[in-house]
Amino acid sequence: MSDTPDPRAFFLDRVASLAAEMDAFDEVLRDSERFGVIVRRQGTLHHCAVENLYLSTRELPPEEREAEVRAWLDVMTKEHRAPETWEEARPLLRPVLRTPGIFATTRLEARRAEFVLSRVTPMLRFALVLDLPQRMAWLRSQEVAAWGVSEELARQVALENLADEASEGIEPYDPTAASPIFHVNSDDGYESSRLLLPGWLAAFAGQVEGPPIAAIPHRNALIVTGGGRVENIERLVRIARDEYSASPGPVSPAIYTVARDGEGIELLRMPGGHPAGGIVDEARARLIATEYEEQRAVFDELGPERGWATPAAPIEVWRRALAEDDADYVCAARWDRGDDSLLPETDVVRLVDGDDERQMPWEKLRRRWPQALEEVEGADPPRWRTMHWPEEPDAD
């Protein structure tokens, strides 16, 4: 076993030590899992992810690096003054692309409704931030209202601001690759956000082999290649899987392609029998399962506080063999007759009545028995409260 210290762990320890030495903080905690520190300043807890700080300061001499860390901690934890007018705010607006799990803590879950969020795909959200020196500040609906503009206009302006920089940093991901593969190396914190720009991914048509496909394994990564070759798709899935697993700021292990309108994005789904279908579907299922399990942990903790007697149901993922060397992945939830539960929105629901079980596709359950489930207000990703058991009509 090597005695060489992990440079990331060493850096995190040093950041926590420097924070503890500063008079500004009442409490300092290390968050190794998310590569950050949690500090309390004037009664307010702040989670500070240090990934970008680590990367931007790693070439500095020790004394300069520590000075940068202290300055960064001060800026990150000071309450920002929201721009008072639309004219002040307009040039600072930026879009970010995240999953619902970005709020999967008990502290943030209770405040989810405050922020400006909109749905992009089942597990991706368009959020707005203010681009402040050395930090992003999440934008709240009340701030937009105070400026006298709509959230839709704020989103449009944020996209326009990012579009001015959209072409910066696009480079070959692997110059030796047999097929073109690109990534965004802009080092601006908005790498993954470029997928929100209308037509951005579609513009790679003709530069890659086949329809453009993209991965955003973490917030500072956006990788694009073509879906015309099986090996391209499989390689992109492996890159996304590995970087998603290794990053303290993961976004998605799934793969995305150009939406049917030619402007936006949607999940990549392969036709039946496609050689890459299994690995693509596995990545989709992993994202769904991760998001719902993080949410379930928070709901279980918040339940007593909010008076919820109904538990959040776990999600199941099955590998389903279709033919020789072919399989897909199914996300499922179990509903036992007589039990109250908050079901995740899955491919299939297992309806269990004693020794009998029916496996019902989600769309069919909602279409034939619209009163069976009731959507839980404010749950993101969506959950559904079990209400009325879906009875099959007696055969004549």
Q: What is the mean pLDDT of the chain?
A: 89
Q: Would the pLDDT of 81 be above 90?
A: no
- The domain segmentation of the chain, as residue ranges, is 7-77, 86-163, 170-268, 283-386
- The number of beta carbons lying within 10 Å of the beta carbon of residue 278 is 21
Strand pairing report for 316-323 and 36-41: unpaired
User: What DSSP string runs through 195-213?
Assistant: GGSTTTTGGGBTTBSSSEE
Handedness of CA 301, 309, 109, 25 (dihedral sign): negative
Distance (Å, rounded) from C-alpha 160 to C-alpha 135?
20
The DSSP call for residue 97 is E
Return the amino acid letter for 187: D
Return the CA Rg of the chain.
Answer: 23
* CB-based contact 388:129 (threshold 8 Å): no
Q: Quick: pLDDT tens for 234-273.
A: 999 999 999 999 887 899 999 999 999 999 999 999 988 8
Closest CA to 288 of 329, 249, 334, 341: 329
Residue 41, H or E segment: strand 36-41
Q: Quick: pLDDT tens for 190-224.
A: 999 999 999 999 999 999 999 999 999 999 999 99
Distance (Å, rounded) from C-alpha 114 to C-alpha 191?
25
Pick 100 or 327 by higher pLDDT.
100
Q: Would the pLDDT of 396 be above 70?
A: no
pLDDT (mean) for 118-140? 90
CA dihedral 154, 160, 162, 168 (to 10 degrees): 180
For residue 307, what are the CA distances in angstroms to 80, 152, 293, 300, 310? Answer: 34, 34, 20, 11, 9
Q: Would the pLDDT of 395 be above 50?
A: no
Cα 267 off chain centre by? 13
Q: Record the pTM.
A: 0.82
Coil/strand/helix, residue 3? coil
Distance (Å, rounded) from C-alpha 182 to C-alpha 169?
10
Confidence of residue 370 (pLDDT cuts 50, 70, 90): very high
In the prediction, which pLDDT does 394 show?
56
Distance (Å, rounded) from C-alpha 91 to C-alpha 160?
10
Joined together, the tokens standing for residue 241 give 């899987």
Distance (Å, rounded) from C-alpha 285 to C-alpha 110?
27
Handedness of CA 280, 285, 290, 292 (dihedral sign): positive
Partnered with residue 132 across adjacent β-strands are: 135
Q: Quick: pLDDT tens for 155-193.
A: 999 999 999 888 889 999 999 999 999 999 998 889 999
* CB-based contact 96:219 (threshold 8 Å): yes
- Percent of the chain predicted with pLDDT > 70: 93
In the prediction, which pLDDT does 363 show?
96
User: What DSSP string runs through 269-323?
Assistant: -PPTT-TTHHHHHHHHHHHHHHHHHHHHHHHHHHHHHHT--SPBPP-EEEEEEEE
Q: Would the pLDDT of 332 be above 60?
A: yes
Total length of the chain: 396
